[in-house]
Amino acid sequence: MTKAVVVFSGGQDSTTCLVEALQNYDEVHAITFDYGQRHRQEIEVAQALAKKLKVTAHKIIDASVLNELAISSLTRDDIPVSNELQENGLPNSFVPGRNILFLTLAGIYAYQIGASAIITGVCETDFSGYPDCRNDFVKAMNHALVQGMERDLLVVTPLMWLDKAETWAMADHYGALSLVRENTLTCYNGIVGDGCGECPSCQLRKAGLDTYNGNKAEILKSYLDKQRSVV
């Protein structure tokens, strides 16, 4: 029996990954982190989606220590999300150490349930300036988890080389485009579905959907070609 753990926020990317995982694994466990994030509604959204999609199990993990340590517009309500980069070249929505912590905790959970894969929706193509969404980072974390737990474990990143339009194509390929569009929370201001339309996350999401809707056949082919090249 194959088992996978999906790092699941209830957003577009992780939901698309979850939909795919349900087609590829016998058991799919979703793990959601409560770190006092700005858009805390995402936890409720993730719970509703996990129930709707009938995952094997859905764990909510207390990761509030991250909120204490990492200052970001996503961990502090009094810091508005900005479209401008900071002096260090990173967006103020970057939460330092977030994916390091999430993949570490997901690895521990995978170890306990005997899962062979951790699936995360990070993406280098549309990585929004976050260094912990890059392929080199994921490879380094994968190596550390294997070395640290003496256990074969693969961190899978289905979206790594897809742009946002191709991510929409992926959801459509699995018959979940409407589900992802209407029921996920990507907006930094906590509005489900198409969101506020103003924050960087909403702008990226909308641009991808508009591009996909404008040329579905070609973009779907591009997505499928990339899938075949990975296999």
Q: What pLDDT digit, counting tens, does each position of 8-19 carry?
A: 999 999 999 999
Query: Was 26 annotated as part of a binding site?
Result: no
Query: Was 9 annotated as part of a binding site?
Result: yes
Domains of the chain, residue spans: 3-163
Query: Was 121 annotated as part of a binding site?
Result: no
Query: Was 178 annotated as part of a binding site?
Result: no
Query: Was 123 annotated as part of a binding site?
Result: no
Query: Was 202 annotated as part of a binding site?
Result: yes
pLDDT for 64 equals: 82
- Residues 23-66: tens digit of each pLDDT: 999 999 999 999 777 677 889 999 999 999 999 999 999 988 77
Note whether 119 and 5 are within 8 A (CB): yes
The size of the chain, in residues, is 231
Q: How many angstroms separate the CA atoms of 50 and 19, rounded?
A: 10
- Residues 146-192: tens digit of each pLDDT: 999 999 999 999 999 999 999 999 999 999 999 999 999 998 888 99
Amino acid present at 181: R
Query: Was 204 annotated as part of a binding site?
Result: no
Query: Was 133 annotated as part of a binding site?
Result: no
Q: Name the residue among 150, 147, 166 with its Cα closest to residue 158.
A: 166
Q: Name the residue among 208, 106, 117 with its Cα closest to residue 164.
A: 208
CATH number, span 3-163: 3.40.50.620
Rounded to an integer, the average pLDDT of 128-149 is: 91
Hey, what are 136's tokens? 């080199």
Rounded to an integer, the average pLDDT of 192-211 is: 92
Q: How many angstroms separate the CA atoms of 115 and 99, rounded?
A: 19
Statement: residue 206 has pLDDT above 80:
yes
Q: How many angstroms separate the CA atoms of 159 and 19, rounded?
A: 13
Query: Was 12 annotated as part of a binding site?
Result: yes
Query: Was 195 annotated as part of a binding site?
Result: no
